Structure 1
Amino acid sequence: MRTWIDLDDAPVFAIPAAGGPRYGVLVEGPQGWGEFSPSPGASDELAARWLTAAMEPSTVGWPDALRGRVPVDAARPTVAVGRDIDAAVTLIREAAPDVAHLIDCTAEQAAAIRRRVDLPVAVDADVLAADPQCADVVVLRCGRLGGVRRAMRRAERLGLPALVVFSGTSSIGVAADVALAAALPDLPYACGPVPQWLRDGDVVSSARSLGTSDGYLPAAPMPAGPDATRLGQFLVTDAAVVAQWRDLLRRAAALL
């Protein structure tokens, strides 16, 4: 499929955000567009998964949706465990969420917190790979797991309820997370949150932007394409930055 994607001229964009600009690359295939936006410092292997996710809607398309829209929780807290399990437990008890979503944790830490809180514990699929018994809920991120189909297969193998976290940078990327949530057989938890920066900047038209939510987001068979004017506002023109992202894109493609 990578031969169908134009990697050399893929536009690199950056959307301003509170913690610094959020970068991504838009890849176009015969069926439309996808978003490649791994986090800074991502390995080539992780970038390859992101590229697979970006190519999925623009080539083979997403699986059929089982629901026309997905619920969004804009306020669910995430708990960064780090080294302090006691502090993480305290935060969870004070927040009283419907599910304890842990980040920056190991399987051993997740298991320890699970024994001390009286609600489901959710961790990323990669953490569960080390110990499938360390949590009650698997967190799915479409880009990181290599697309909708791969994320669904991972959840099926684990046999746990799923929580979909939005990991896209623009509405093109968020649409993939929404497609994943829409295609899951069961969706016991609301998804999200919608990235705050999308309220002020996006690469698709305002009518197609997923930057606002009334508690739900619509599922679509493919993401919206970029709007030329809005993409132009966020297009990266720094030659060094563009070269860095396109080089990562090419290295990722070489692993597919």
Structure 2
Amino acid sequence: MTPSIAELLDTARVVALPMTTRFRGVDVREALLFEGPQGWAEFSPFVEYADAEASVWLASAIDFAWNEQPAPLRDRIPVNATVPAVAAADVVGVLARFPGCRTAKVKVAEAGQHLSDDIARVRAVRDVMGPLGRVRIDANAAWNVDEAERALHALAEFDIEYAEQPCATVEELAEVRARVKYMGILIAADESIRKAEDPIAVARAGAADLIVIKAQPLGGIRRALDIVAESGLPAVVSSALDTAIGLSQGAALAAALPQLDFDCGLGTGALFVENVAKLSPVDGSIPVGRITPDEARLERLAASADRQDWWRERLTRCHALLSD
């Protein structure tokens, strides 16, 4: 059942969360929250996404707020620290925001930076994490095949757990995976899952060792679980720079997975100066369970009037697409 737009707008709250460090070009993360019979949900497709893609995120939010979710198999989710494309000197400060995390994901291939910046950043992360920590990297599809091979060869000395979406296409991922297999670096697919018309194409092509799944972009927890089952690959649940509400949906997805072999990217609440509720890593994990936003925080973090209008209009357009 799709609730009416009036039902969604009745509880809608639009927030703007300032970030501690610029992340993927974002300094302030905006989101629209609403409440349904099952609790609060988040609608926060990135502002550049067209309505057709954003409507999938709305379907996910409605499902989470209106329908009972799959039963959890665990009550806490181990999470990784997330290191934006900061200078190597800033790594210690970033990692301090993720107490107890045994894994760190490092952003690389940032526009305007060079491989030398990535090497310095990853080296700094490895120094902090120590030999027993796990270090993974995320290029967000920014490299071509040759660039990816060169970068991974340069970064291999830091014992990389996996490289997330080093290239854009499934064919490129398959080629990179074949070239770096001898290094022992796994290849993970993210954009090739959440932005693909056929998210199983990666598995069929043998282009990845594991997949990264996110509840909002995939249309909800059940569809994400179906994709994992059909792919037959291990899965890492990650966030789309969600508020605490969206992170709680990600935790519900991770809690419902039959197997959870990797730490999840659900500790990103630590990247905000303030969130709508407390949900940052404690002892390297976050709890599973519904989150209710704090009213005082909602008021403090409320977006400007023009941005609230923008999000409500977007919600209305995407709702119309779902209704059609």
With structure 1 as the length reference, what TM-score do the two structures score? 0.89
Equivalent residue, structure 2, for 1:213: 282
Equivalent residue, structure 1, for 2:263: 190
Q: Which blocks of at least 5 consecutive residues in structure 1 are unaligned? A: none
Structure 1's 3 and 218: CA in aligned 2 closer, same or farther, altered over 3 A?
Answer: same
Is contact 1:23–1:169 with CA below 8 Å preserved after alignment? no
Q: Distance in 1 between matches of 2:59 and 2:318?
A: 9
Q: Which blocks of at least 5 consecutive residues in structure 2 are unaligned? A: 82-103, 106-136
**In the alignment, structure 1 residue 203 sits paired with structure 2 residue 276:** yes
**In the alignment, structure 1 residue 174 sits paired with structure 2 residue 247:** yes
1:78 counterpart (138, 150, 157): 138
With structure 2 as the length reference, what TM-score do the two structures score? 0.71
Q: Which amino acid aligns with 1:165?
A: S
Structure 1's 219 and 57: CA in aligned 2 closer, same or farther, altered over 3 A?
Answer: same
Is contact 2:79–2:263 with CA below 8 Å preserved after alignment? yes
Equivalent residue, structure 2, for 1:100: 163
Is contact 2:144–2:172 with CA below 8 Å preserved after alignment? no
Cα offsets for 1:77-99 (capped at 9, x unmatched): 21234243333234334143222
Is contact 1:167–1:177 with CA below 8 Å preserved after alignment? no
Q: Which amino acid aligns with 2:79?
A: V
Root-mean-square deviation (Å): 2.0
Q: Count the aligned residue pairs.
A: 249
Equivalent residue, structure 2, for 1:115: 178
Q: Which moved more, 1:36-45 or 1:2-11?
A: 2-11
Structure 1's 185 and 161: CA in aligned 2 closer, same or farther, altered over 3 A?
Answer: same
Equivalent residue, structure 1, for 2:8: 7
Q: Shift in Å at residue 33 of structure 1?
A: 0.7
Percent identity over paired residues: 35
**In the alignment, structure 1 residue 242 sits paired with structure 2 residue 249:** no
Cα offsets for 1:200-255 (capped at 9, x unmatched): 21112xxxx112332111111xx21111101111101322x222211211122122
Is contact 2:166–2:173 with CA below 8 Å preserved after alignment? no
Is contact 2:188–2:211 with CA below 8 Å preserved after alignment? yes
Structure 1's 187 and 59: CA in aligned 2 closer, same or farther, altered over 3 A?
Answer: same
Q: Which moved more, 1:93-102 or 1:153-162?
A: 93-102
Q: Shift in Å at residue 104 of structure 1?
A: 5.8
Is contact 1:69–1:182 with CA below 8 Å preserved after alignment? yes
Structure 1's 219 and 193: CA in aligned 2 closer, same or farther, altered over 3 A?
Answer: closer
User: Secondary structure of 1:145's partner?
Assistant: coil
